A and B are shown apart, each in its own frame.
Chain A
Amino acid sequence: MSAHDHAADAHSVSGDHHEQDGWDFAHPMPVPMLLAVFIALVILTVITVAQASFDFGSYDVAIVMGIATVKAILVGLFFMHLLYDKLFNLAVFLSAFVFVGLFVILTVSDSRLTSKDFIPVDDAVVVSPTE
C-alpha cells in the first residue's frame, strides 16, 4: 500500500502552487464536462425507451444492456472520477465485475443444464378451455 501511495504522491495531479506534496490534490471536474455527461446520459435514456417500441428479436437484451453499459461507463469515468483516479481503484472496481461475470455465467449455465423450470406451481385454478 505505502509504495503505491508514494508513487501517487510523485505525480500528484495538480501540483500548482503548494510547497508540500500531498496537500494540493483536489481535481475539480469542470462544470461543462459534468453537464455534457448528464446530457449524454439523458439522450441515451431516451434512446433506450425509444428502442423498446421496435422489435429487434433476440438482439433486444443485447441492445438494452449495451446502452446501459455505455451509460454506466460514462457515469463511472466522469461522475465517479475513474478517468482521473488511480489505476488501482479502477482495478479494484473492475475486479468486482469479473467475479459477477463468473458467478452469473456459472449459475445460469448450471441452471440451464439441470432444471427446466423449478418454480413450484400452486395455482389451484383449472383452465376451462372454452366457455
Chain B
Amino acid sequence: MAGAGIAVVGASLGGLRAAEQLRAAGWRDTITLFGEEPHLPYNRPPLSKEVLAGEAPASGTELRRRPSVQDVEWRLGTAVAAADLTARTLTLTDGSVHLYEGLVAATGVRPRRLPLPGGPPRHVVRTLEDSAALAAELVAGARVLVIGSGFIGCEVAATARTAGCEVTVVAPESEPMLLAVGEDLGRALRHRHEARGVRFRMGHLATALTPRGAVLDDGTELAADVLVEAVGSLPNTEWLATTPGLDLTDGILCDAHLRIGGLSHAVAVGDVARFPNPRYGPVPRRVEHWSVPGDTARHAARTLLAALTDTPRDPTPCAPLPAFWSDQFTLRLQSFGQPSLADRTELLSGDPESPDGDLLYGYYENDRLIGVAALGSPAASAAAARHRTELMTLPEPVV
C-alpha cells in the first residue's frame, strides 16, 4: 500500500484544492486526480452568468492552479465506477484497478431532473457544455421557462431576460431563493426581477410538459421555446455504494474531521460532503457554496496526512463559515452564515419598498445572529461583510 499515493476522485474545485492543500501540508508523494469531465478544473459560477451571457469566453473559466500541483497526475475523462475502501482500490469505468493509500472524495453533485417526459428543448446548467448549449438558445424574443427559483434558476432568469428573452419562473415556494434567504429578502428579490420584466408563477408546480410548453397544477398552460430545469441537485455517490456500510443518504456522511465512515484514510470535500458544523449544532449538512470546497479541502488534507504519516491530528473540528453570493442583473446577493436556520429575520438597513436601494437583513436563532444577507450594490455586500467577525464567533467552546 505504501507508495501507492493519494487518489482524488473528482477534478473540479474541491479536487484541485484538496491536491493543493495536501502539498501545502507536506505530502510529496504521488497524487492522482480522476475527473469524469475532459477539462482541467474550471470555475462554475460564470456558467449561469458571464459565460451564459456570452460576455466572457468559456476558456477564461479555468481555475488558477498553484505551482505545487505541477507534478500531480491528471486522469481526465476518466470516471471512477467503484471503490473498495477496505482494500483501498478504485475501479475505473474501463475495468482497470487503481490502488491507493489515501482517498479524497470530491465528486460534487449533478442536476436533479424533472420527473416528467417530453417538453420543449430542455436544459440544465452544471458544466461548460450545458452552459454553451443553453447560451445558443437565449436569443431575443425566445420564450424561456425556468422551473425552480433557487440561485441557479434566478441567475439563469436574469441572464436570459438581459439577453432579451421572455422569461417566466415557476416554483412551488412562496418566494424565490426562499430556502437560502427567507421570505422578506426573497420578496424584495422577486420585485426587482419583476421590475426588469421577469414573470413569476410562485406556489405552482409543472405537472406536464408538451412540445410547446408546460401545464401547471392549476391547469394553466405556459408556452415556452426553451425549458430550464433548476430543481436542485443529486450528490454523485454511486461509485461509493460498492463499499458496504457507508451512509450515502444525501451525500457522503463524514465526521467532524471529514473522515468517511470512520476510516482514517478516506475523506470527503465540497458539495458532496455532509458533515456537522459546530457553529450550527450536531446535525450533519451538505453546503453547496463555492467557498466550501476550499475550506473543507484544507481541513481534510490535514486529517488525511495525520493518518498516513501517523502523526497527531488537530483535534479542532472543521467549522467553515458558509458564504455565498449570487449575481442577478446588476444586483449582488451576498450571504454569510446560515440564514436558513433562523427563527427570526430582521431588516438591519434599507427600505424593502424601494425599487433599487441596498438591503441588509440579519437572521437570528434564539436571539443569536447566525446569518446576514445583503442585496444591492458592492456597498451592501461590504456592509454584510462587516458582520463576519460576529458570525465567526463559535457559540460555545468546542473540543
Q: Do A and B actually bind?
A: no
Chain A residues near B (Cβ < 8 Å): none
